[in-house]
Amino acid sequence: MHAQIKELYPLCRSITGNGVRQSLQILKRSIPLEIREVPTGTQVFDWTVPKEWNITDAYIKNAHGERIVDFKRLNLHVMSYSIPVKRKMSLAELRPHLFSLPEQPDWVPHKTSYYKENWGFSLSHRQLQSMEEGEYDVCIDSSLTDGSLTYGEYVLPGTSQDEVLISTHTCHPSLCNDNLSGIAVSTALAQALADRSRRYTYRFLFIPTQIGSMTWLALHEHVVPKIKHGLVLVGLGDSGSMTYKRSRQGQAEIDRAAIQVLKDSGHPYKVVDFFPFGYDERQYCSPGFDLPVGSLMRTPHGQFPEYHTSADNLEFVKPAALEDSFHKSLSLIEVLERNKTYVNQNPKCEPRLGPRGLYRTTGGHTGSGQIKEMPILWALNLSDGVHSLLDIAERSNLPFAEIAQAAESLEACGLLREK
């Protein structure tokens, strides 16, 4: 995952344009995703697919002809969606178009102006302060033209038509945690699921944030009723602990499954309620859709100083954090896959477990590999055709995996039957 982030890092992504196309082409080597193009001007609810933005070069040259700010060195130097500029100007004229972070004087901020025509450069505050009066040669070699919005989609069919939506955004340039970590974890998850038998159908979306989910929803209203669970994956590579943001519904199965996985991990975690800000959960959880879509992340956006700056770089995202995020995401999917409701076939008093090989025959410690007693008893007691395995895990305060393993063993010997 970190190697993939490293390959994607230099590309200049935005909400449209060739940087997104190139990024999706790189992902296509790992998963056979479909690359879709939606033309500029397409109406998507209250919004319109914008003009396509592309950029080949940009710089500010000083009086000696030296590139003191150079897009080719770091694409964050140019405000995303900057209109073309090519002329000489004084520092006073240039100054309103320069952005820096006085509180982090060595970092370059990430700036955008998608829906208002503007142009600008970002630079470190230290560099801004060192700029002298005089004439500067300013160039942004960009284009804003009728083109399309590009997104990637990969559907892995399951035995059921019911779908799990995994959505991640692809519109940030050289930023690693906010953007590339979600892309890398989603891609690894898609690869892992491709090799497994699946109850659910999985739909992976790689989209520009907000306008991308609006566009996808506008063009796929017929698919929406099939979505039973969904997850927005963002910010999964920093060293912070995990955070889960609930769906608007708040108590959906995805919400409960995510919290169960985080609890079972034994690691610290936080749960936050839904709020109508953040990433694409804003659109999936808009009242007209109200989909059960939560968001899994590590440190929430805006709560780490590196957020939307050049310090969100290849050193900021850690392979171990990516791996941990991947395993937790996969565990969450395993809970969804295994969360079934069973009916006890011997409900009048407890059945005899010993003859069925389900009970330890000698007292004392239950070693690994042996079936544990309490999950068996809980699964038998609460499998009344009403309680799901997730209900049983929550009520028993036992790990979901133990309850699921017990239920699957009980089903194998005929004591439980799936409802």
User: Does the protein bind Zn ion through residue 306 (CB under 5 A)?
Assistant: no
Query: Which one, 11 or 252, has the nearer CB to Zn ion?
Result: 11
User: Does the protein bind Zn ion through residue 238 (CB under 5 A)?
Assistant: no
Query: Which one, 178 or 281, has the nearer CB to Zn ion?
Result: 178
User: Does the protein bind Zn ion through residue 178 (CB under 5 A)?
Assistant: yes
What is the closest distance, in whole angstroms, from the C-beta atom of residue 302 to Zn ion in the complex?
Answer: 9
Query: Which one, 80 or 396, has the nearer CB to Zn ion?
Result: 80
Q: Which range of residues in 27-35, 176-184, 319-327, 333-341 is near Zn ion by CB under 5 A?
A: 176-184
What is the closest distance, in whole angstroms, from the C-beta atom of residue 308 to Zn ion in the complex?
Answer: 6
Other beta carbons less than 10 A from residue 386's beta carbon: 10
What is the closest distance, in whole angstroms, from the C-beta atom of residue 389 to Zn ion in the complex?
Answer: 36
Q: Which range of residues in 115-123, 126-134, 173-181, 311-319 is near Zn ion by CB under 5 A?
A: 173-181
User: Does the protein bind Zn ion through residue 312 (CB under 5 A)?
Assistant: no
Q: Which range of residues in 175-183, 190-198, 352-360, 409-417 is near Zn ion by CB under 5 A?
A: 175-183
Question: ∠ CA 220-222-228 to the nearest 5 degrees?
Answer: 95
Token representation of residue 74: 């770091």
Q: How far lies 31's CA from each of 141, 189, 360, in Å?
A: 33, 10, 45
Burial of 368 (0-12, 13-18, 19+ CB in 10 A): exposed
Q: Which range of residues in 101-109, 178-186, 311-319, 394-402 is near Zn ion by CB under 5 A?
A: 178-186
Strand partners, 61: 67, 137
User: Does the protein bind Zn ion through residue 280 (CB under 5 A)?
Assistant: no
What is the closest distance, in whole angstroms, from the C-beta atom of residue 51 to Zn ion in the complex?
Answer: 21
Query: Which one, 50 or 109, has the nearer CB to Zn ion?
Result: 109
Map the footprint of Zn ion across residues 376-395, applying CB under 5 A. none
CA 367/CA 198 separation, integer angstroms:
31
Map the footprint of Zn ion across residues 67-96, applying CB under 5 A. none
**Dihedral angle sign, alpha carbons of residues 272, 273, 279, 281:** positive
Which residues, at least 6 apart from 175, have a Cβ–Cβ distance to it below 8 Å? 76, 110, 308, 312
Residue 304 Rama label (left phi>0; alpha psi -120 to 50; beta): beta
Query: Which one, 109 or 158, has the nearer CB to Zn ion?
Result: 109
Residue 280 Rama label (left phi>0; alpha psi -120 to 50; beta): alpha
Q: Which range of residues in 150-158, 171-179, 334-342, 361-369 is near Zn ion by CB under 5 A?
A: 171-179
Q: Count residues contacting Zn ion (CB under 5 A)?
A: 1
Query: Which one, 178 or 306, has the nearer CB to Zn ion?
Result: 178
Question: ∠ CA 317-300-246 to the nearest 5 degrees?
Answer: 125
Q: Which range of residues in 35-43, 58-66, 170-178, 332-340 is near Zn ion by CB under 5 A?
A: 170-178
CA 201/CA 181 separation, integer angstroms:
23
**3-class DSSP state for residue 196?**
coil
Query: Which one, 325 or 331, has the nearer CB to Zn ion?
Result: 325
CA 247/CA 273 separation, integer angstroms:
8
Query: Which one, 237 or 375, has the nearer CB to Zn ion?
Result: 237
* Binding residues vs Zn ion (CB under 5 A): 178
